[in-house]
Amino acid sequence: MVAMTATAEEEAMDTLTALSGSPTQPMGAYPGPTKLLIDGKWVDAASGKTFETRNPATGELLARVAEGDAEDIKRAVAAARRAFNGPWSRMKPNERQLLLLKLADIIDKNMEELALLDTLDMGGPLSRTRNNRQRALGMLRYYAGMATSVHGETINNSLPGDIFSYTLKEPVGVVGAIIPWNGPLTASIWKIGPALATGCTVVLKPAEEAPLTSLRLGELCLEAGVPPGVVNVVPGYGETAGAALSSHPDVDKVAFTGSHLTGQKIIQASAGNLKRVSLELGGKSPDIVFADADLDAAVSGASMAVFANSGQICSAGTRLFVERKVYDEFTEKVAAYGRNLKVGDGRDPEVQVGPLVSAEQLERVTGYLAVGQKEGAKALSGGARLTEGNMGKGYFVPPTVFANVRDDMRIAQEEIFGPVISAIPFTDVDEVIQRGNATTFGLGSGVWTRDVSKAHRLARAIRAGSVWVNCYQAMDPAVPFGGYKMSGYGRESGLQHVEEYLNVKAVWIKTA
């Protein structure tokens, strides 16, 4: 699928659509890239090993993908280093800008295919993956703008005599990017975009559960003219490929998104060469609904803050605090909202909630459903895996709302990463601030109120990287996103994101 005309692109899309089957038809052989992308070439793993990736809606095999491990990471890092030392990092900013703009146009043309790939590989419904268009293109075009905006400063110093000082901003070097499976297209772009803008090179390790979109994105990077070795894509397992990348002595920075437990290992692995690390980890975000809010807007907002992507979103508002006087009415409405969402195979464009990504994730989420019931919470909706018809072949959990949740229950403390809301009553502002903050995490948070003073007060008091007032999960390439506490450090999006990929050098010039 390289260098295609418009018609060839349409044909490729038709082929993928035909091969991808439908909710009732089996899938054929996957036509896209399944090898490792190293130094601009598609290669087998050094070990010759491959692993399976499956459609979580049906359990069907999508493709066998080359399984990279330490040896392949070594080759990819060497390629990335050569590319970094070559003409790439000296390319003019406007050339990198044009490259990013071109990549955005190519992704625009191929968006339908990329959306379908995400849907097939990780289960997110087309109704969602198609809507990633604006986010994907917006990010690339934002970073394109940043490519020509990087600059140092002239700084007045107080030393005697004439000595001039200024700073240079330089690309940090070879970046190891490790991403999870919950949004392969946008997660890949979120790591590759700032690298291309600043002149870094990348080894991207997609999640073993969903590697196909990242590989296809690698192919599109080549089509856009990204030089060999600048973007390398090495699928493989976390314990092997991921660990090798995060401990590699010639990697300058690791940009990681995933669980806090793996984040801790990444920090340990980084110690060998003190590489820079940025971490976007999980959460147990409070979403706080006051009785004075526009409750209808809050019902859909609070529901989709968790049910979107089957709850597989790091900043999902899973601790739903509801003011006691509207608690029963509100939680019942959220449960009803959840019951009305269409759950199923994401290839059906009407479906709003797809399957969980894997059997492992299904086990984890249904485990929490059992824990919640055992702890004394009451499932107002959902509460058990769906198995009717073909659903038994996939990993479907319906939108679930637990009422009677206490702060000390595991379902109120631990990240479930499924479509599960823990609804907790509260009575006053000070109390909900204290309880909302009583978590080891601090990624997202929501506040629903018509009282502007209350909104401002909570916006300051909540210890989290994002506070959404009368909305949830708003994201923009220019607005920083990231964690407090165990949700990680570093920011993605915004000026600070670009800084994460830059070194600052001070230059002194004695002129007299």
C-alpha span between 154 and 160 (Å, rounded): 17
Least distance to ligand NAI from the beta carbon of 373, Å? 19
Closest-CA residue to 124 (of 425, 344, 384): 344
Q: How far is CA 470 from CA 170, 288, 332, 449, 459, in A?
A: 40, 10, 20, 7, 12
Instruction: Give the x/- contact pattern for ligand NAI in 256-295, rule: CB under 6 A.
Output: -xxx--x--xx--------------xx-------------
Q: Residue 54, interface with ligand NAI (CB under 6 A)?
A: no
Secondary structure (3-state) at 19: helix
Identity of the residue, 119 or 247, whose beta carbon is nearer to ligand NAI in the bound complex? 247
CA distance 118 to 183: 7
Nearer to ligand NAI, 262 or 422 (CB): 262
If one asks whether residue 441 binds ligand NAI (CB under 6 A), the answer comes out as: no
The only residue of 142, 417, 441, 448 in contact with ligand NAI, by rule CB under 6 A: 417
In which order are the strands placed within the sheet that holds 163-171?
154-155, 163-171, 502-510
Judged by CB under 6 A, the residue of 180, 338, 399, 446 near ligand NAI is 180
Residue of 67, 200, 219, 314 with catalytic role? 314
Q: C-beta of 278: minimal distance to ligand NAI in Å?
A: 13
205 binds ligand NAI (CB under 6 A): yes
Give the binding range for ligand NAI (CB under 6 A) out of 175-183, 193-201, 369-377, 396-404. Answer: 175-183
Which distant-in-sequence residues (6+ apart) come within 8 Å of 391 by Cβ? Answer: 343, 344
Smaller CB distance to ligand NAI: residue 199 or 317? 317
Cβ proximity of 227 and 187 under 8 Å:
no
Asked if 96 interacts with ligand NAI (CB under 6 A), we say: no
Q: Which of 39, 208, 323, 492 binds ligand NAI (CB under 6 A)?
A: 208
Min dist CB 17 to ligand NAI, Å, is 28
The pair phi, psi for residue 402, each rounded to 5°, is -95, 125
| 280 in active site | yes
* Spatial distance between the Cα atoms of 275 and 255, rounded to a whole number of angstroms: 10
Residue 443 CB, shortest distance to ligand NAI, in Å, is 7
Residue 242 interacting with ligand NAI (CB under 6 A): yes
CA proximity to 459, closest of 447, 472, 451, 471: 447
Query: Among residues 67, 209, 280, 323, which one is catalytic?
Result: 280
Asked if 234 and 36 count as a contact pair (C-beta separation under 8 A), the reply is yes
Q: How far apart are CA 119 and CA 141, in angstroms?
A: 24
Determine the size of the site formed for ligand NAI (CB under 6 A). 26
Q: How far is the CB of 303 from ligand NAI (least distance, A)?
A: 20
What is the three-state SS of 111-168?
HHHHHHHHHHHHCCCHHHHHHHHHHHHHHHHHHHHHHCCCCCCEECCCCCCCEEEEEE
Q: Mask 349-378, x = binds ligand NAI (CB under 6 A)?
A: ------------x--x--------------
Contact flag: residue 176 with ligand NAI (CB under 6 A): no
What is the DSSP secondary-structure string of 425-462? Answer: EE--HHHHHHHHT-SS--S--EEE-S-HHHHHHHHHHS
Quick one: 141 or 205, whose CB is closer to ligand NAI? 205
Residue 348's SS3 state is coil
Give the binding range for ligand NAI (CB under 6 A) out of 14-22, 125-133, 235-243, 382-390: 235-243
Those residues with Cβ within 8 angstroms of residue 65's Cβ, 6 or more apart along the chain or in another chain: 34, 35, 50, 51, 52, 53, 211, 212, 215, 235
SS3 label, residue 237: coil
Query: How far is the C-alpha of 105 from the C-alpha of 258, rounded, in Å?
Result: 29
Identify the CA nearest to 10 among candidates 84, 119, 100, 113. Answer: 113
Q: Tell me: does residue 214 bind ligand NAI (CB under 6 A).
A: no
Give the nearest distance from C-beta 366 to ligand NAI in angstroms: 12
- Residue 189 binds ligand NAI (CB under 6 A): no
Tell me which residue of 228, 143, 148 sits closest to 193, measured CA to CA. 143
360 is catalytic: no
**Site for ligand NAI contains 439 (CB under 6 A):** no
Distance CA 320, CA 46 (A): 48
> Interface with ligand NAI includes 410 (CB under 6 A)?
no
In whole angstroms, how close is the CB of 282 to ligand NAI at the nearest point? 4
* CB 250, min distance to ligand NAI, A: 16
310 belongs to the binding site for ligand NAI (CB under 6 A)? no
Nearest-approach distance from CB 247 to ligand NAI, in angstroms: 8
Give me the active site residues, please.
280, 314
By CB under 6 A, name the binding residues for ligand NAI. Answer: 178-180, 182, 205, 207-208, 237-239, 242-243, 246, 257-259, 262, 265-266, 281-282, 314, 361, 364, 415, 417
